[in-house]
Amino acid sequence: MSDQVSSPGEATAEKKEDAPGPYGFGRAFRDSILEGHTLTIIVLAFFTAFVIGGLLNAFTNTTVLHAWGSFFSAPGHAIAATWDTAVGAYVEMFEGSIFNPHTVAQLFQQASIGTAIRDGYLSAVFNPLSETCVQATPLILAGLAVALPYQAGLFNIGAQGQIIGGMIVATFLGFGVSLPFFVHVVVSVIGGFAGGAAIGGLVGLLKARTGAHEVIVTIMMNYIMAYFLAYLLSFGYLMQAPHTSNAISPPIAGNAHLPLLFGSHLRINAGFLVALACAAGIWWLLNRTTTGFEFRSVGKNPSAARTAGMNVERSWVLVMLIAGGLAGLTGAAVIQGTDFTLNPQSYGTYGIDAITVALLGFGRPLGVVLAGLLFGALHAGAPLMQSVTGTPVDMVQVLQAVIVLFIAAPPLIRAMYRLRAAKAGGVGGVVSKGWNA
Amino acid sequence: MELELKGITKRFGSLVANDRIDLSVAPGQVHALLGENGAGKTTLMNVLYGLLQPDDGTILIDGKPARFGSPKDAIAAGIGMVHQHFMLVPVFTVAENVTLGIEETRRSGLLDRRKTRKDVRELSHRYGLEVDPDALVENLPVGIQQRVEIVKALVREATVLILDEPTAVLTPAETQDLFRIIRQLKQGGKSIVFISHKLKEVQAIADTITVLRRGAVVGERPPSATEDELASLMVGRSVQLRVSKQAAKPGDVVLDVTDLTVTDETGRIWVNGMSFQVRAGEILGVAGVQGNGQTELCEALMGLRPTAAGQVTLNGRDLTRATPTQRLRAGVAYVPEDRREDGLVGDFSVADNMVLDVYNRPPFASGIRLHPDAIAANAAERVQEFDVRTTSADTPVGTLSGGNQQKVILARELGHEHKVLVASQPTRGLDVGSIEFVHRRIVDQRDKGVAVLIVSAELDEIYALADRIAVMYEGRITGFRPPTVPAEELGLLMAGATDQNPGPPGPEPTPSAPTAIPGAGQ
């Protein structure tokens, strides 16, 4: 637009001139926000989300509410109770997901290093991190399944359906065939990839051939696959386990389990390495290959891509094929890494979480890994938090949602933190223009 | 009302967009602001319209200082602005758009549609705008939409109208209509500030011309000033408005198009049995009013649209069914009409855009592996060679000026081996300096023995470049002419007169005959 002549950076410079004053930390802090430093935005978004989460937690807690009920007789008590509840939950979450000091104390009470290792006390120290990685594995893989199409201009809402596709094939190969150890794992994993790729590729094909919008098609595929899974698990001659009336598959063979990385006491398995390798692979694909160049061109400007001789339709099919495969790997990692059987709820909320993870990771592979680890940590810490402080695990969902809300809407964060800045003169345009000027 | 700007200064960080600008607009005058893209014209007008606050200087209205905190203040003071991109609601009628924000209500609180319609009709009649108050804006051609914007300003009782690059989106015929309206507004006592970078238009319509360069006023001239003088003022050095070139030495036929027919998805025929040849070392210029199938012709030549019938060969090789990539490899260099939409990926770096259609060829890739070093090296070389003004080759191309964007496309297309250059509207929206550069390069290509096909709606461009002119009307060629042909004759051909059938065909003569367009174009 002709009237939008100032970029956010320029607007900041302008403001500096308008309001000269001591250039202290607070000012530098504010200016860095106005300049739209993404890192600052992210840090503030997390900070805000955790504060809001903490308050929400505290004020839904009956003890805290009782304390506030007698605020005028014991104000200190009310505030202390609020603080304890809010912070206590986070402490437990930290202990459950990263590091728990109690486990170290127990480690040092052991007679010797040998017994410590044998009885799993050493593993206990690393258990929180292991759980974080286990939880992060499907989130990273599924996040990539959304992030990759995003780079090519497609919105993959269908990770769920593709995950189910992968789970079905991986499970079937897991219990249906008998193969030697290493071979069985690999065959099942590849089967999982193929199962997801088939569903994703179908979506790409429909879009390329008929112009059907991928959002609609993927959403519909989610329903189709969910009910298809329920159907498969309802009949013994299909995938239902024998001698049961429950909708559950037989357990997969031990040979098909993803190998544990650090012994039997820790659940962390090769799936995590697969996830990291996929992230690295996708980065390489996007940034170092002609195919990735095509994907990114098609994503940013399909008509220029077409004019430059790229086959836009082929890119759509290919990108959905790979994305479906990644989602399929998610399914394989869950079945072969932690669940070992398939039931109608096995796919959980990974398909939806994938979108959140991809959003938080700005659609980039490294971002997806970090976002996956973060959400993995939240998930891993939740059970301990609930058992110790009584905070419901749903708190984690709220936290996730609030973090993503703030990350996805930087103007919100800017607006919130400018409220604390006394004078707002001369920067009126920044909020409205900041993100897309 | 007399409007005066005194010492207006506007800075963006270290950039001085407006440097102590003085400007006075007398009542009933057309005052042109002439300057290249980025000279500060739009910034100045945004200051005047209250969208930006000046860092220094004053705005005087009838000698009294005024301060515009927002467009509201400016409108109240009688200033109206027609933006380059219209601010209209497409699904509303003309009357609804005009009344938006200043709705008239009856005593019952309901909208007084009748009064609005009457106002629009009355104003539209007085200034010869001929706008139907009940038409839906989305159904109106661009030229009429612009008039709706003018009516909007007039209803708000503007006495000074700012027109920001008003002709950029208009056909030559629409431009003529606009000039007629401007003259009528002038007679009605309104002042007009006419912002443009097109010399001829400014000369045709202005009473006074103020030239801006790099944010400062570099001179004020009467419209009788020569084009060369104005161009030099604008660019800051003497420029050649017309590329000097030797007579063409045509060689063998390179591009041979026979009975080409192109339709769209709905079956509408855009190119109807066109036949022409382009020889090595000559420039064939396709003239015509926009929308007569030129876009479709170029897209079909590039393989971006299916060919319904006919044949296209390149050095005897049949390319009729070839894909865009096959055509590129066969030696077609293509400069698309809409560079932002079809020529560049705006978010990509200059370097990536310079390999957009050769990224999968050595040395930029082997197999599926890209070689970023080769891409960077290529960019460094080409940026230099084509004088692309950019802070670095990693800068997103979308942030460059139009002229530099076009240089990036040229650098790419002329960089790979080619026998034909197809360039559609190669200088649309470019400033004088860039036009000179692009024209120079195109003539160089011809001299190197490339067969060149130029499609342009600007007659001046056709005259400047073409060795042979083909005129296109409704998907057909109405005639071939040498570049010495008078503009009147071309105009007749552009309106549909053929060699066999002189005079516009059909019951309703096409009003778009751009014969008398001295003011249009570059």
pLDDT in tens, B263-285: 988 888 999 999 999 999 999 99
Residues written for chain B: 522
State the DSSP string of B225-279: S-HHHHHHHHHSS---SS---PPP---SEEEEEEEEEEE-TT--EEEEEEEEEEE
Tokens of B130: 């001929």
At residue A281 the predicted structure's pLDDT band, cuts being 50, 70 and 90, is: very high
User: Residue B502, preceding bond cis, omega within 30 degrees?
Assistant: no
- Contact status, residue A412 vs residue A406, Cβ threshold 8 Å: yes
pLDDT at residue A358, rounded to an integer: 93
Say whether B240-331+417-522 and B3-235 share the same fold. yes
pLDDT at residue B228, rounded to an integer: 86
Radius of gyration over every alpha carbon of chain B, rounded to an integer in angstroms: 25
| Residue A250: DSSP 8-state | P
CA distances from B41 to B57, B67, B252, B266 (A): 16, 19, 48, 43
pLDDT at residue A432, rounded to an integer: 30
As beta bridge partners, residue B348 has none
What is the spatial distance between Cα B158 and Cα B35, in angstroms, rounded to a whole number? 25
Instruction: Answer whether A436 touches B (CB < 8 Å).
Output: no
pLDDT at residue A26, rounded to an integer: 56
Nearest CB partner across the interface for A10, out of B13, B341, B356: B13
pLDDT at residue B504, rounded to an integer: 46
Question: Does residue A1 register a pLDDT over 60?
Answer: no
- Interchain CB distance below 8 Å, B302 and A307: yes
Higher pLDDT, A234 or A18: A234
Angle value at C-alpha A137, between A396 and A277, nearest 5 degrees: 145
Condensed to tens digits (0 to 9), the pLDDT of residues A109-135 reads 887 878 877 778 888 889 999 999 999
Q: Which residues contact A144 (CB under 8 A, 6 or more apart)?
A: A278, A279, A282, A323, A326, A358, A365, A368
| CA nearest neighbour of B304 among B332, B340, B274 | B332
For tokens 């409704």, the residue is B474
Backbone angles phi, psi at B230, to 5 degrees: -65, -45
Condensed to tens digits (0 to 9), the pLDDT of residues A214-258 reads 999 999 999 999 999 999 999 888 899 988 888 999 999 999 999
| CA nearest neighbour of A80 among A67, A70, A89, A91 | A67
- Interchain CB distance below 8 Å, A17 and B11: yes
What is the spatial distance between Cα B248 and Cα B452, in angstroms, rounded to a whole number? 11
- Contact status, residue A167 vs residue A335, Cβ threshold 8 Å: yes
Average pLDDT over residues B30-45: 86
- Interchain CB distance below 8 Å, A307 and B343: yes
Question: Does residue B507 register a pLDDT over 60?
Answer: no
Lowest-confidence region among A190-204, A384-398, B188-202:
A384-398
Tokens of A60: 């839904």
Tokens of A387: 């058992």
Lowest-confidence region among A239-243, B440-444, B448-452:
A239-243
Nearest CB partner across the interface for B304, out of A17, A296, A307: A307
State the DSSP string of A289-347: BHHHHHHHHHHH-HHHHHHTT--HHHHHHHHHHHHHHHHHHHHHHHIIIII-S--TTTT
- Contact status, residue B257 vs residue B453, Cβ threshold 8 Å: no
From chain A, pick out residues whose CB is under 8 angstroms from the CB of B323.
309
Q: What percent of chain B has pLDDT over 90?
A: 51
What is the spatial distance between Cα A331 and Cα A275, in angstroms, rounded to a whole number? 12
Instruction: Lay out the sheet containing B56-61: strands in order across.
Output: B15-25, B3-12, B56-61, B64-66
**Exposure of B42 by Cβ count < 10 A (0-12 exposed, 13-18 middle, 19+ buried)?**
buried
- Sorted by where each begins, the domain ranges of chain B are 3-235, 240-331+417-522, 346-401+408-413
Following CA atoms A170, A172, A177, A179 in sequence, which dihedral angle do they give, to the nearest 10 degrees?
10
State the DSSP string of B436-483: HHHHHHHHHHHHTT-EEEEEES-HHHHHHH-SEEEEEETTEEEEEE-T
At residue A387 the predicted structure's pLDDT band, cuts being 50, 70 and 90, is: confident
Residue to substitute from B345, B364, B395, interface A, most A β-carbons within 10 A: B345
Average pLDDT over residues A45-64: 86
Residue to substitute from B370, B371, B395, B413, interface A, most A β-carbons within 10 A: B370
CB interface of A with B, residues 276-315, below 8 Å: 287-293, 296-297, 300-301, 303-310
Question: Does residue B137 register a pLDDT over 70?
Answer: yes
| Residue B140: DSSP 8-state | S
What is the spatial distance between Cα B29 and Cα B187, in angstroms, rounded to a whole number? 9
- Interchain CB distance below 8 Å, A308 and B344: no
What is the spatial distance between Cα A249 and Cα B445, in angstroms, rounded to a whole number? 70
Condensed to tens digits (0 to 9), the pLDDT of residues B57-80 reads 999 988 889 889 888 899 999 999
pLDDT at residue B519, rounded to an integer: 39
Q: Kind and range of the H or E element at B283?
A: strand B283-287
From chain B, pick out residues whose CB is under 8 angstroms from the CB of A293.
352, 359-360, 370
Angle value at C-alpha A43, between A41 and A47, nearest 5 degrees: 115
pLDDT at residue A28, rounded to an integer: 52
**Exposure of A24 by Cβ count < 10 A (0-12 exposed, 13-18 middle, 19+ buried)?**
exposed
Condensed to tens digits (0 to 9), the pLDDT of residues B315-338 reads 999 999 999 999 999 999 999 998
| CA nearest neighbour of A350 among A159, A168, A146, A130 | A159
pLDDT at residue B175, rounded to an integer: 84
Distance of CA A418 to the CA centre of its chain: 30
What is the spatial distance between Cα B142 and Cα B128, in angstroms, rounded to a whole number? 17
- Interchain CB distance below 8 Å, A297 and B357: no
Tokens of A335: 């079945």
Tokens of A42: 């992210």
Q: Which CATH superfamily is domain B240-331+417-522 in?
A: P-loop containing nucleotide triphosphate hydrolases (3.40.50.300)
What is the spatial distance between Cα A424 and Cα A35, in angstroms, rounded to a whole number? 15
At residue A24 the predicted structure's pLDDT band, cuts being 50, 70 and 90, is: low
What is the spatial distance between Cα B123 and Cα B430, in angstroms, rounded to a whole number? 35
- Contact status, residue B469 vs residue B480, Cβ threshold 8 Å: yes
Higher pLDDT, A401 or B303: B303
Residue to substitute from B12, B338, B354, B369, interface A, most A β-carbons within 10 A: B12
Backbone angles phi, psi at B454, to 5 degrees: -110, 130
One-letter amino acid identity for A292?
Answer: G
Nearest CB partner across the interface for B328, out of A9, A301, A309: A309
Instruction: Tell me the CB-side half-sphere exposure of residue A99, using CA atoms within 13 A.
Output: 3
One-letter amino acid identity for A402?
Answer: V
CATH 3.20.20.70 fits B3-235, yes or no: no
Per DSSP bridges, beta strands B269-279 and B3-12 are unpaired
pLDDT at residue A22, rounded to an integer: 44
| Residue A251: DSSP 8-state | P
Contacts of residues B445-448 at CB distance under 8 Å and 24 or more positions apart, as own/partner, are B445/B414, B445/B421, B446/B245, B446/B248, B446/B281, B446/B282, B446/B283, B447/B245, B447/B246, B447/B281
Higher pLDDT, B457 or B286: B286
Following CA atoms A76, A78, A82, A88 in sequence, which dihedral angle do they give, to the nearest 10 degrees?
70
- SS3 category, B141: coil
Nearest residue of chain A to residue B164 (CA atoms): A2
Average pLDDT over residues A61-77: 83
CB pairs under 8 A between A and B: 99
- Contact status, residue B281 vs residue B451, Cβ threshold 8 Å: yes
pLDDT at residue A84, rounded to an integer: 87
| CA nearest neighbour of A2 among B52, B121, B329, B225 | B52
